[in-house]
Structure 1
Amino acid sequence: MGSRQVSDWQGRKITVAGLGVSGVSAARALAGLGAQVTVVDGGDGDTHRARAAELAPLGIAVRLGDAETLPDGTDLVVTSPGWKPSSPLFAAAAAAGVDVVGDVEIAWRLRGPDAPPWLAVTGTNGKTTTTRMLASILTAAGLRTAAIGNIGTPIVDVVTGDEPYDVLAVELSSYQLHWAPSLRAHSATVLNLAPDHLDWHGSMEAYAADKGRVYEGNTVACVYNVADKATEDLVREADVEEGCRAVGFTLGTPGPSQLGVVEGILVDRAFVADRHRQAQELAEVRDVVPPAPHNIANALAAAALARAFGVAPAAVRDGLRAFRPDAHRIEHVADVAEVAYIDDSKATNTHAAQASLAAYDPIVWIAGGLAKGATFDELVAASAQRLRGVVLIGADRALIREALARHAPEVPVVDLDRTDTEAMSAAVAEAAALARPGDTVLLAPACASMDMFTDYNKRGEAFAEAVRALAAERG
C-alpha cells in the first residue's frame, strides 16, 4: 500500500454499516490505513459481540443495537451490500451531506498503481457460474487470477493483499453496483435481466440501471445477451471509453461482433481479424458441464470476456473443460428406478427456475418457498408442457398453485401444507410416486429458502439426503 493511499485515509472518520464478512473486511482495511472506524449494526447477539471483541484491539469502535443513527463526525459511510437505500442511516447521511459507498467502491479506491484490471460479471442469474468459468479460462491461459466480488474472499482483502494478480474475475450484484460509482472495468457483461430484488431497488427500472453501471467506463468490450434486448439497451446507454466495442453472445449462429453456436461448436466472430468473414472455433458444446442452454450462454459470456482480454482459443476450451459448477446448481444427485433426481436449489427466483425447467422433459417439479414479491404465471405458462406433476412446499406455495390452476390445470399437483425441514423428505416421496421411468424430478424452487432452511445450500442438502434415502430404500 503506497504512502499516498495511507494519507488519503489517515484520520478520516468512517462509519461501516454492517458487521458481516464484507463490513468487517472493510473496517479492518480502513483502520489499517489510519482511519477512525466505527461499525454499526442493529443486532446485539453473541455472534455480534464476539466480532466486536475481535475488532476492538484494532482500534475499531462497534456500536450494536442501533443501525439508524449516524455517529457524530462521520465523513464517509461504507455499507454492506444488503442494506437498503431507504435505510434511516443513509437518510441521516444524506441530510449531513455524507457520501455512502459500498465495499466494492472501497476496493476500487484502494487499488495500487499496478493493480490488475477487472473483468466484471453481473445479471439476474448465472453470475457465479460465469465468473468461475471465466477464472477457469484465465487460469488455463497461464494468468494469475481469482474469482472474487460477490463470491469467495472479500474483495477488499484481495485488493489489499500481497498476492500478485494479472487480472481479476469479479462477480458484482446489483446491490454492490448501486454503491460503486467509481468502478471502471476493463470489460463487463450483464448476462440477463429479470425482476428480482425489487423490494430493495424499488422498481425494475432502478434495478436495471444499477446493473447497467457495470458497463460505465469499459475500455475493451461490453458483452451483452442477444436474446435479452434489455442488456443491449444498457450497453447503448453506457458512457464507455473510445474504442470499446459491443459484443453479443447468442445460442444461435453468431453475426459479426458476436459469439455463438454452430453445429455443436462455440465460435467467436468478435475477436478475429475479419469478423465479417472469419469465425474462430473455441470449444464444443460437450466441453460445457452441464450442457443446458442457459449454461452454454454462461460459457459464451465468459469466453467473450476472456477473449476481450486476449486469451487464446485453446485456453477457452481447456478452461471450460476444467470447470465444474457449484453444488446445488443443476447437480445430478442420483438415478432411482430410471428417474433422474436433479438438485437446482440455487434457482431462487423464477428466471433461474425457467432456465432449469427448459433443460429437461418430462419433469416432476418440486417448487416453493419465499416468493420475494415474484409472480409465477409466466414461468408456469412457459413450462406447462414439460410437467408430469408438481410438488409444492414452503410459505408462498399458494402463489405457484394458483398459477398452475390458470396455466396447467391438467397437471397433478401435490400441495404439502408444511414448512418444517422434514417436508423435503415427504416432497421427494410424493415426486417419486408421480414420476415414471425416463422422467426427471427437479428441485428448482423459484423461491428463496429462508422460510424452511438457513439457505439454499441446506435446502439442496435436504433434497440430496432424501434422494439417497429413497435410493437405499429401493436399492
Structure 2
Amino acid sequence: MTAWESGEAGPGGAGGRPTASSWDGLNVCVAGIGVSGRAAARVLAERGARVTLVEGRDGDDQRAQAAELESQGVTVRLGDGESLPEGTELVVTSPGWRPDAPLLVAAADAGIEVFGEVELAWRLRPADAAPWLAVTGTDGKTTVVRMLACMLEAAGHDALAVGNVGTPIAQAVLQKHDVLAVELSSYQLHWSSSLAPLAATVLNVAPDHLDWHGTMDAYVGAKGKIFAPGTLAVYNADDATSTALAERSERRAGFTLDCPRFGQLGVVEELLVDRAFTEDPARHADELAGLEDVRPFAPHNVANALAAAALARAYGVPPGAVREGLRAFVPDPHRIQHVADIGGVTYINDSKATQPHAAAASLAAYQPIVWIAGGLLKGLDVDDLVRSSAPRLRGVVLMGRDRGRIAEALARHAPEVPVVDVPDTDTGAMDRVVNQAAALARPGDTVLLAPVGASFDMFANYPARGDAFIAAVRRLAES
C-alpha cells in the first residue's frame, strides 16, 4: 500500500508539498510525449515513481524521444494512447489531451486522479519555492510573460519565463530562482486544481478553443481558475469577463487604457501610471513608463505592458525597472511585426492573430488597411470583427480554406470594400497574395497580415505562414 492509498500524504503531501513517500513506487501514467509530457515523466522517474508514458503516434521522432526516456527509467508505449496501463494509480496528462480522450475517461471511471504537468509542478515545489506570477487570457499571454520577465530582471531578480512558454514548469520549479513568470493556457488550467500564484492576471477572454472545452462557460471557467483564493487578481478593467472573474477575489488590481481609478494602472496623456501599488494611491500615481517605451506600439500592446507592470509591481518591482524592462523587451516575431516600407506602404506581419479577438486588436492599430485574411476559422464567427473593422479597410485579400466565410461577412458588412480572392495553396501562393495587396494599397496605407484563422490548411504553423509573408514582401521590395 502506498502512502497515497493509506491517506498519509497524497502527491504533494500535506499542504501541497512533496514527501519522500508521495511518489516512490507510485504507478503513474503520463499521457503524451510532447515537451510537457517528457518533462513530467523525467521528474516523476527521478522521484522513484514507476512511470509509463503512452503516446498514440509511433513515428521516427516519437521513437527517438522514447529511447531517451527509456534510458532514464521510463517505460514508453507508442501507438496506443487509448488504453490505461494496468495498475495505474495516477494520470498526468499533457495539456492538449481533451477530457473526452478514452484513456482519461477510463481513468475517471476508475476513480483515478488526473491532472496536468502544471499541477504536478505545483505539487513538486520545495519549501523555499519561487513564487509564481501567472498569466492567462485569449491573447497576449506570451508577450506579457516576456515583458514581465524583463521587468523582474531589470529589478535585479533571477526570473524565468515558464509554463506554456520557455522551460517546462515541472523542471523549473526544482531549480533555484527568485520568481517565475508563468504562462498558462486554458488547457493547462483545466487540468489544475490547487494552483495559488502570488499574483495572476486574466488578460482578456473571447471565444476560442470551444471545440476542446465544449462551451464558452467551460472555457471561461478554466481561465478563472487562475484567480485562486489568496491570489492577487490583476484584471483588465476594459474586459467585462476578466473584471467579473476578479470580483470574487479579496485582493485585486486593475489595468485600463483609460485614466486609472484608485486601485488601477492606466494611461494619462503619454504615460503609463500606477494608482494601485503606490504608497498613497488615493492621491498619488507613480509614473512607470512612456507610450514610446512600448514596442511594438499598438493599443492592445499597451494593455499587455500594463498587465505585466501590475504583476511586477505586485512583486515589489520599482517604477524605474518597469521602464527599463519595457525598453529591454524584444518582441517575438509574427506579432504585429514591422516587415518593410515599400512605396509609402507599410507591411505588418501578425500571423499570430489566429482568431477574431486577436485580429480585431491588430486591425484597431492601423488605418487605412489592406487586410490579408483567411485560414481555418475553427467554427468561430467573424461578423462582429468585419463589422467593427469595415471603416478601416482599403481592401481585402483572402486566402485559405475558410476564406469564403470571411467573404460572406464582408459582403454583408463592408460591401463597398474591394475583395480579391486567391484560391491557390501552392508554395507561391503568398507571393500572389502580397502582390494583390500591394496593388490595392496606396501611400500611407498598411498591408496587414492578420489572418483570423489557423494556418494548418496551407502551412505547418503560424510562424511558417509569417515567414512566407516576410519572404514575399522582401521579393516585392526587390522587384
- By the TM > 0.5 criterion, same fold? yes
Q: Does residue 306 of structure 2 align to residue 277 of structure 1?
A: no
Q: Does residue 221 of structure 2 align to residue 215 of structure 1?
A: no
TM-score by length of 2: 0.95
- Matching residue of 1:255: 261
Q: Does residue 151 of structure 2 align to residue 137 of structure 1?
A: yes
Q: Does residue 58 of structure 2 align to residue 44 of structure 1?
A: yes
- Matching residue of 1:312: 318
Deviations 1:134-180 (A, max 9, x none): 0000000000001111001111111123xx21111000000000111
Q: Which of 200, 204, 207 is the equivalent residue of 1:188?
A: 200
Q: Which of 463, 466, 469 is the equivalent residue of 1:463?
A: 469
Question: Which whole-Å CA distance do the structure 2 matches of 1:192 and 1:420 have between them?
Answer: 36
3-state secondary structure, aligned to 1:146: strand
Question: Which whole-Å CA distance do the structure 2 matches of 1:199 and 1:418 have between them?
Answer: 28
Query: Does structure 2 conserve the Cα–Cα contact (< 8 Å) formed by 1:368 and 1:395?
Result: yes
1:68-467 correspondence runs (5 A): 68-161=82-175, 164-219=176-231, 221-238=232-249, 244-467=250-473
3-state secondary structure, aligned to 1:121: strand
Query: Does structure 2 conserve the Cα–Cα contact (< 8 Å) formed by 1:227 and 1:250?
Result: yes
Question: Which whole-Å CA distance do the structure 1 matches of 2:154 and 2:18 have between them?
Answer: 36
Query: Does structure 2 conserve the Cα–Cα contact (< 8 Å) formed by 1:395 and 1:419?
Result: no
1:8-27 correspondence runs (5 A): 8-27=22-41
Query: Does structure 1 conserve the Cα–Cα contact (< 8 Å) formed by 2:130 and 2:173?
Result: no
The Cα of 1:4 is off from its aligned counterpart by 5.6
Question: Which whole-Å CA distance do the structure 1 matches of 2:252 and 2:53 have between them?
Answer: 41
The Cα of 1:418 is off from its aligned counterpart by 2.1
Q: Does residue 71 of structure 2 align to residue 57 of structure 1?
A: yes
3-state secondary structure, aligned to 1:176: helix
- Matching residue of 2:6: none
Question: Which whole-Å CA distance do the structure 1 matches of 2:230 and 2:382 have between them?
Answer: 36
The Cα of 1:422 is off from its aligned counterpart by 2.1
Question: Which whole-Å CA distance do the structure 2 matches of 1:25 and 1:419 have between them?
Answer: 37
Query: Does structure 1 conserve the Cα–Cα contact (< 8 Å) formed by 2:359 and 2:452?
Result: yes
3-state secondary structure, aligned to 2:253: strand
Query: Does structure 2 conserve the Cα–Cα contact (< 8 Å) formed by 1:29 and 1:160?
Result: no
Q: Note closer, same or farther for the CA distance 1:27–1:462 as it changes in structure 2 (3 Å cut).
A: same
Question: Which whole-Å CA distance do the structure 2 matches of 1:393 and 1:457 have between them?
Answer: 16
The Cα of 1:5 is off from its aligned counterpart by 3.7
Q: Note closer, same or farther for the CA distance 1:180–1:25 as it changes in structure 2 (3 Å cut).
A: same
Deviations 1:411-449 (A, max 9, x none): 011111122332111100110111111100000001111
Question: Which whole-Å CA distance do the structure 2 matches of 1:276 and 1:22 have between them?
Answer: 44
TM-score by length of 1: 0.96
Question: Which whole-Å CA distance do the structure 2 matches of 1:41 and 1:318 have between them?
Answer: 44
Counterpart code for 2:229: G
Q: Note closer, same or farther for the CA distance 1:295–1:4 as it changes in structure 2 (3 Å cut).
A: closer
Counterpart code for 1:170: V
Question: Which whole-Å CA distance do the structure 1 matches of 2:18 and 2:199 have between them?
Answer: 27
Overall identity of the aligned pairs, in %: 63
Query: Does structure 2 conserve the Cα–Cα contact (< 8 Å) formed by 1:248 and 1:259?
Result: yes
Counterpart code for 1:121: V
The Cα of 1:391 is off from its aligned counterpart by 0.5
Q: Note closer, same or farther for the CA distance 1:4–1:325 as it changes in structure 2 (3 Å cut).
A: closer
Unaligned 5+ segments in structure 1 are 239-243
The Cα of 1:48 is off from its aligned counterpart by 1.2
The Cα of 1:47 is off from its aligned counterpart by 1.2
- Matching residue of 1:241: none
Deviations 1:255-298 (A, max 9, x none): 00000000110010111122221111111111110120000000
Question: Which whole-Å CA distance do the structure 2 matches of 1:57 and 1:305 have between them?
Answer: 40
Query: Does structure 1 conserve the Cα–Cα contact (< 8 Å) formed by 2:18 and 2:126?
Result: no
The Cα of 1:372 is off from its aligned counterpart by 1.0
Query: Does structure 2 conserve the Cα–Cα contact (< 8 Å) formed by 1:189 and 1:224?
Result: yes
Question: Which whole-Å CA distance do the structure 2 matches of 1:48 and 1:422 have between them?
Answer: 32
Query: Does structure 2 conserve the Cα–Cα contact (< 8 Å) formed by 1:185 and 1:217?
Result: no
3-state secondary structure, aligned to 1:355: helix
Query: Does structure 2 conserve the Cα–Cα contact (< 8 Å) formed by 1:188 and 1:218?
Result: no
Q: Which runs of 4+ in 1 moved over 6 A?
A: none
